[in-house]
Structures are given as structure tokens and as C-alpha cells.
Amino acid sequence: MHRKEFIKTCGFACIGGTALTTLLQSCATTNYFAQTTIANNQISIKKAEFATIIKDKPMQRKYVLVKTDKLGFPICIYKINDESYTALFLECTHRGCELQPGGDYLICPCHGSEFTNKGIVQNPPAEENLKTFKTTTDNENIYIQL
Ligand code: FES
């Protein structure tokens, strides 16, 4: 291999490695699965699960994900404010793909439908809003009725 070709190959490998690392780090910080307890058809999540540290600063996550054995898809819990949360079932109402949360929206990777953080359809082909779960709170916890 010639010197110029070797340097070019190493340069692309470094750029690819950096991009992959950045992508993996961003995935790890955005899709956080919260610790939960489940009893009597109710999921309990500590409000503290929304706390995180980004670049040494305490921050609040916009949402956390919850998995249960009972349901085929995760539930996404959005923090609207300290007393108000939405719990959205991540099954697309178009043809049943798993939605991907991203910021304040949920996007379907299959055909591109978009939903708000309250489960309302913003872009077709989906026509129905997402299934939601009733949520209540106290000082420390969020409760989701299944
Ligand atoms: S399954 Fe989600 S848009 Fe088609």
C-alpha cells in the first residue's frame, strides 16, 4: 500500500470511528429505560428517574421508557411538568411498528408517521392517536394504570 493511500484509509477509519462513537453515545443518553415496580396492574416510577447529568450539569430527561412483560411494546413517559406526565404505548397505529421517541415527537421508522408527546397524530399515514395510559403522581412517584 502506498503512503498516500494508507493515510487516506486511516483518515476515513478515524472519522468513521468518531462518528460511530458519537452516535452510540447519543443513543445511550436519549433512550433510557427507567427502573420500575409493577403491582396490581400499576407501574410505579420514581420522578428521580428523569434526572440526569449532561456535561457535569444536572438536567431533566424529556422522557423515559418502560418495558413490561405484559405488553409487546415499551411505554414512553413524557414529562410535561412536575405534576403532569403522559404515558404512550409505542405501537404505531398505522401497521404496528415500534415508534422511536426523538425530542418532543415520536416517529415511526416504517412509513414515517409522527405523533406528539401527547400521542396525537401529526403526520400520516397513521390516522389514529396512540394508545395512552392514565397517569397520576405524588411527591416522589408517577403511577401508570395498565
Ligand atoms: S407502521 Fe407506522 S407509519 Fe406505517
Count of C-beta atoms within a 10 Å radius of residue 92:
24
CA of 60 to the centre of ligand 1 (A): 30
Q: What is the pTM of this model?
A: 0.77
pLDDT band with cut points at 50, 70 and 90 for residue 92:
very high
pLDDT digits (tens, 9 = 90+) for 17-33: 444 444 444 444 468 98
Length of the chain: 146
Bigger pLDDT: 3 vs 119: 119
Q: Which residues line ligand 1 (CB under 6 A)?
A: 92, 94-97, 108, 110-113, 125-126
pLDDT at 10 over 60: no
pLDDT band, residue 40 (cuts 50/70/90): confident
* 119 Cα to the center of ligand 1, angstroms: 14
Give the mean model confidence (pLDDT) for residues 116-124.
97
Does 108 score more than 50 pLDDT? yes
Name the closest-CA residue to atom 1, ligand 1. Answer: 95
Residue 113 alpha carbon, nearest atom of ligand 1? 3
* Residue 140, Cβ density class (10 Å: 0-12 exposed, 13-18 middle, ≥19 buried): exposed
Please tell me the predicted confidence (pLDDT) of residue 19.
Answer: 45
Q: What CATH number is given for 32-145 in this structure?
A: 2.102.10.10
**Domain ranges (residues) in the chain:** 1-30, 32-145
